[in-house]
Structure 1
Amino acid sequence: MSLDLVARVLYRDPAVLIIDKPAGLMVHAGPKGGEHLGLFLDQLRFGLAQSPELAHRLDRETSGCLVLGRTRKALAGLGDLFAKGLADKTYWAVVVGKPREDQGVIDYALKKREKKFGWRMEVDRNGLASVTQWRLLGTDGRLSWLECRPLTGRTHQIRAHCAAIGHPLVGDAIYGRGTGTLAGDRLMLHSRNIVLPFHAGKPPIAAKAPVPEHMRAVLEGCGWDTL
């Protein structure tokens, strides 16, 4: 795979990088090997001795804003910011059906479940507190375009939460089986914006990732205006 990460830089300063991660690329090496983002990070040294490292993560099939730290100090600071829930993350998702309300809050604790054919996150009152704010941005009646803001950072949070309220993400092989045929078989989840209050005394860092090609037609059908 050939990947030009320099062309995908959304924000850069001496401590922090934000890139537009492509859908379909793991951020870490998987148990079965294969290509992952770490193989390409050397492109982003920009004169430093070390490559940047991940400050958080996105699922393999999720595209969009991904934050990297360029120094040990920056990584520690970013890690603390994410751990405290101070990173303002906005995702765009395409889900099956049309919610009854125009906005809402999903407050379902989630717990990891190991199963014969893999693992998944499930709603469990004994799980970790998990909260997602959502807003309906558009719909064609069959599919809907949601803005989702996870107030906690659980693995698969948006995917599990949307499925739990009866609106699984299109293309989600784990939480929305059978939804892939509705609009292609790729997961329709995109990290659209991120805002980080990182540098003391300065405005927050902000970045916006362009909509990936595999989501554009469906979003336009739900009312997204590209102009």
Structure 2
Amino acid sequence: MAKPEWIELPDCEPIPILYEDRSVLAVDKPPGWLLIPVHWQRTARNLQAALESSIRAGDWWARSRGLKYLRHVHRLDGETSGVLLLAKSPGALSAYSRLFQTGRVQKVYLAVVRGQVRRTQWVCRLKLAPSPDRTGRIRVHHVHGKPAETFFRTVAIGQDVTLVECRPRTGRTHQIRVHLAAGGHPVLGDHLYGRAEDEPTNLGLRAVQLAYVDPFTRKPVDIRAPWSQFLAEHGFEKVVWEPERQSIP
């Protein structure tokens, strides 16, 4: 029997597997799943805990692959969807973590933001630090903040919203969201950095590409999550977009 091309977890639509090799597995993470320590049990939406529980239970998606270990290499915010890379062994986790830590992974996101952005492209280098008055919130701090850099490009302008391509060159918590909000264009549905009076809606942020050179085979890898449905949900169904090819460090 062929290995399933998705992961089945309780109370969740099947999670598509986007890419797999001997060392890693990449999934299309749905919104609402948190990447937090396994022992943190105050939510049923702990993705790492759910994956480990499913592996221990011998569920077919894992058993068909002989999986005994699977751990996220990087993080996506709970409400952010898209490409998430998972390591199949502690050795792989260490090797791929170094790629992210040394900036050798190309990350591309699509964001739908409030307002009509008039700049074609720009780079934000505002330093970021934890907010002292609210746990989990990040703020711009020019003195004590850590360096952060994000490249932005306007893709399409809609009615009071703009579709923006985002390429974070560092990996700070909430980096894209804070940099966009600081420029006056918070991500749609972002109640942490946007307008509190907005009606509830899914966060308009999706990770659509991870590209890197495999640390073991030295071959280039380009993993993409589909974006057509994301564009259609936000009124950009007629937009034609592809991430530009860039050299991978």
Q: Please indicate the TM-score interval, normalised by the length of the shorter structure.
A: 0.7 to 0.9
Matched, 1:40 2:51: yes
Letter in 2 for 1:121: I
2:95 counterpart SS class? helix
Name 1:177's counterpart in structure 2: 195
Structure-1 separation of matches of 2:109 and 2:26: 15
Matched, 1:158 2:167: no
List per-residue Cα deviations over 1:138-179 (Å, max 9, x = no partner).
Answer: 011410000000000000000000000000000001000247
Matched, 1:102 2:110: no
State the 1:22 CA deviation. Answer: 0.3
Structure-1 separation of matches of 2:76 and 2:182: 20
Taking only aligned residues, the RMSD between alpha carbons, in angstroms, comes to 2.3
Name 1:189's counterpart in structure 2: 205
List per-residue Cα deviations over 1:87-129 (Å, max 9, x = no partner).
Answer: 10000000011222110000100000132x5331111112000
Name the TM-score, length of structure 2 as normaliser: 0.81
2:132 counterpart SS class? strand
Matched, 1:10 2:28: no
Matched, 1:123 2:123: no
State the 1:82 CA deviation. Answer: 0.5
Q: Quick check: 1:160–1:175 contact (8 Å CA) kept in 2? A: yes
Name the TM-score, length of structure 1 as normaliser: 0.88
Letter in 2 for 1:138: A
Gaps of 5+ in 2: 1-9, 56-60, 242-249
Cα distance change on mapping 1:4 and 1:40 into 2, 3 Å: farther
Letter in 1 for 2:65: G
Identity across matched positions, percent? 31
Structure-2 separation of matches of 1:44 and 1:139: 42
Q: Which moved more, 1:36-45 or 1:64-73?
A: 36-45
Letter in 1 for 2:12: L
State the 1:213 CA deviation. Answer: 4.9
List per-residue Cα deviations over 1:52-84 (Å, max 9, x = no partner).
Answer: 111011111000000011111111101101100
Structure-2 separation of matches of 1:63 and 1:143: 19
1:118 counterpart SS class? coil
Question: How many residues get paired?
Answer: 221
Residues 140-159 of structure 1: matches in 2 within 5 Å? Answer: 140-159=158-177
Name 1:205's counterpart in structure 2: 221
Cα distance change on mapping 1:4 and 1:107 into 2, 3 Å: same
Cα distance change on mapping 1:172 and 1:129 into 2, 3 Å: same
Q: Which of 48, 58, 61 is equivalent to 2:76?
A: 58
Matched, 1:24 2:40: no
State the 1:214 CA deviation. Answer: 6.1
Structure-1 separation of matches of 2:63 and 2:24: 11
Residues 85-100 of structure 1: matches in 2 within 5 Å? Answer: 85-100=103-118
Structure-2 separation of matches of 1:2 and 1:158: 29
Letter in 2 for 1:84: T
